[in-house]
Amino acid sequence: MILVTTAGKVGAEAARLLARRGQPVRLLVRDPAKAAALAEAGVDVAAGDLTAPDTIDAAMRGVSTVILVSPAVPGHEIGVIDSAARHAVSHVVKITSKASADSPIPRRRDQTRIEDALIASGLGYTLLRNNAYSQNLLMLAPSVARTSSFGSAAGDGRIGMVDSRDVAAVAAEIAVAPGAHAGRTYWPSGPAAVTYGEAAAEISRVIGRPVTYHPLTFEQQKQDMVDVGVPDHIAAMNAQAVSLFAEGDSDWVTDDVPSILGRPARSVRDFVTDHADAFR
């Protein structure tokens, strides 16, 4: 049994892909009603909460491999790692980012704490240090739909955006046969590093009208996120990450996705084409 720890972008898709392959897969969710379609597709939906250790232990029964993905609060994910160790789980695929102990971004420092705890646990593990998700472009979609323009503090920085559906596919692939990936760290990215200006051109092409991109300051970027309901401290972290794009922080590309999946990684063009309605 493979346990997927949350039903967000990566977790829900990983569970769907595993069920489609006929793999026994369990998905921990706070609200099972939200996962009704996945239950229908054959996923064993377990009601639980990463803040409630007893629900993690209950979901861990009979599990051999865990796909550890969540908003990466260290106490929550380390609780999952501890539970996995108690339940003789053999492998954990950890969804992470550009983790580093001295990152200016608190979430990346938290990811380091979690990665370190996983490595120290003695469990088999694989780290997926993903580049920024193409799905972040969806946050810009309401502005594109309303004003045919969007702004960002990313400047002209290039970003090797990876589609979170590909991250899920990579995690699922590794979870099915973890042996060859034990102790490995991968850096999943898309096929090319693109600027937000180039993303605007892709959106224009797909929706058939000009879309313009304008630079924002850090403060404007943060305020835009707060305005759509993102909590202040998360907005600050996200705006910080976007500002780092401008400095080339995400200007990297690897062939980890195609080499693990045996097919090309989805491009920004693929992503925008698949989500054209949101931008229209």
Ligand X SMILES: NC(=O)c1ccc[n+]([C@@H]2O[C@H](COP(=O)([O-])OP(=O)(O)OC[C@H]3O[C@@H](n4cnc5c(N)ncnc54)[C@H](OP(=O)(O)O)[C@@H]3O)[C@@H](O)[C@H]2O)c1
> What is the CA 154 to chain-centroid distance, rounded?
19
Sheet with strand 91-96: strands edge to edge: 44-47, 25-29, 2-4, 65-68, 91-96, 124-129, 184-186
C-beta of 35 vs 211, nearer to ligand X: 35
Cα gap 122→219, rounded to integer Å: 43
Q: Does 44 bind ligand X (CB under 6 A)?
A: no
Q: Does 158 bind ligand X (CB under 6 A)?
A: no
Residue 49 CB, nearest distance to ligand X (Å)?
A: 4
Cα gap 136→242, rounded to integer Å: 10
The answer to whether 244 touches 149, Cβ cutoff 8 Å, is: no
Q: Does 103 bind ligand X (CB under 6 A)?
A: no
Q: Does 95 bind ligand X (CB under 6 A)?
A: yes
Q: Does 54 bind ligand X (CB under 6 A)?
A: no
Residue 256 CB, nearest distance to ligand X (Å)?
A: 13
Q: Does 49 bind ligand X (CB under 6 A)?
A: yes
C-beta of 132 vs 201, nearer to ligand X: 132
Q: Does 31 bind ligand X (CB under 6 A)?
A: yes
Stretch that binds ligand X, among 126-134, 176-184, 193-201, 207-215 (CB under 6 A): 126-134
Q: Does 46 bind ligand X (CB under 6 A)?
A: no
Contact code string over 178-217 relative to ligand X, x by CB under 6 A: ----------------------------------------
Q: Does 40 bind ligand X (CB under 6 A)?
A: no
The answer to whether 47 touches 7, Cβ cutoff 8 Å, is: no
Q: Does 30 bind ligand X (CB under 6 A)?
A: yes
Site for ligand X, rule CB under 6 A: 6-11, 30-31, 34, 49-51, 69-72, 76, 95-97, 107, 130, 132-133, 136, 164
